[in-house]
Structure 1
Amino acid sequence: MTAADAGADPLAAFEQHRRLLFTVAYQMLGSVADAEDVVQDAWLRWSATDRADVADPRAYLVRITSRLALDRLGSARSRRESYVGPWLPEPLLTGGAPVAGGAPPPDPDDAAALGEQVSLALLVVLETLSPAERAVFVLREVFGLPAAEVAAILGRSEAAVRQTAHRAREHVRARQPRFDTDRSTQRLATERFLAACAGGDVEALLAALAPDVVLVTDGGGRAKAALRPIVGAEKAARFLVATTAQGLAIPGLHVEVAEVNGAPGVVAWVEGAPYLTISLVLVDGLVEQVLVVRNPEKLAGLQREG
């Protein structure tokens, strides 16, 4: 799309890149709601811009969105310092029907391509970066923007961007688990995990969990959850069996394996309202991490249409 096309139909130009803009903001903020707000703010900026001078609408929109997201990172981090219990990113449905009021999920091929890029495990690691490191990592490593373009977006020198990118890349590499990426393996493991939890089969869970598995539950003080990560297969298995039994007793509960953050995960609804999501990190066929989001404020984006 040329600059002339963008000026003639600003909405069409924006809609063409909306999914990319949402993903950039989501990667930088780890929040569906904040990412949607950033995209809306980007639209307001775009609609008020003299688009005749915009040679590359995509680059211009990514620049606006990145700067808006970076502005929000500081306040987002301060909110998390007073958060009750462990903090996890907001889960994102990346397959199936669109959610009511939320960003449209990627097509199945897009979800497969995103994979590790939008995984909760990666987003958790990105939380340990400084705002500048996170922005540079997302733009350089995830979206592959040239260092010169990232420098222009962030108002830094190209040399500084390259140095920050190297530091962020090493930091992430040292902390991110090298999980299994075969989708059929992921789905089979997720289905077995769910069956063991639902059946109260502690032995089956122990066979699925790595000995040093880490279970993190995010309730945010608004839903029942463990206030600290649970470490070890025995403790994690018994916690999962007990909490699953409580959940299955809730009238109107519906549980299914769905596409969450680019990989198979568990999603539960109660009378159509989101109840929880579970994402698994698999390494050599065993579950190394169990990431459970229960905070209802982080599940509003999973509300399905109809």
Structure 2
Amino acid sequence: MAASIVVFGSLNMDLMVRVERNPRSGETLRGLGFLTNPGGKGANQAVACARQGASVSMVGCVGNDSFGETLRNALAADGIDVSNVRTEEVSTGVAIVMVDAQGENSITLIPGANEFVTAKPEALAGQFLLLQCEVPMGEVVEAAKLMRARGATVVLNPAPVCQLPEELWSLVDIIVMNEIEVSELSGVSVNDPESATVAASAILKRGPTTAMVTLGSQGVLLADGDHFRHFQAKQVAVVDTTAAGDTFIGAMCAARATGASMSEAVIRGIEAATICVTRPGAQASIPFLHGATSA
């Protein structure tokens, strides 16, 4: 039986350093803590989907090293089908994550095995396809073409942000962006719900039928056809914003896969992301469905 959600994307080991602030050029600072945590936008979103009750298959690549084995085992522990996570004779992808005292992060990414991900028809069967931009763009487009032809709903998180091929725009049903991503893709500077509405309108003209803009503490802007709605964020003490966007997307997709309305799915995403930011780490911070209604 095919998974309800296929995630085609990256798997990384996150090497996380907690700091009071990011160092300036040439400066050495004493760190406050260090941990390793399974991550990668694709893997994070797969975990978020699975912990919110969806049946999930991960399509990706890891290296032939201990990080790769750890990442594969972590996904399997969440009930995710990893039969289409290939192993290549290269290093596993790694992300160097620095988290400051305000919980904001800066990330340096080394793709490694993620550069070898390929869109094979036999691996792509499900109701929803969830995509990001941490694997080769040509393969992202091919996965979207294959799944769209099979009647799947294609969801794109254009992160890390880059200029998307015109062909991909016409294949995307739902696009989910943060302020930086929507500003880059629309040409509209976004810093509040009003500017997000203008930017989302421009994005919808490119092809997607639904656009979501995550605005951090200012909530989420949903543009669904000709309808626009702003959802407030829940105010909590932020510990670490790592994987908050991935958590929102995974919870939103899981809700849609079970028949929730678009508005209901956004609310589910906000609830899950609210819990995520109160915890350190990437996958370690992603909540399960039974805990997604309270922080």
TM-score after normalising by structure 2: 0.31
Judging by fraction of residues, say which structure has more helix.
Answer: 1
After TM superposition, the score normalised by the length of structure 1 is: 0.31
* Structure with the larger RCO, 1 or 2 (CA within 8 Å, 6+ apart): 1
Larger radius of gyration: 1
Larger fraction in strand: 2
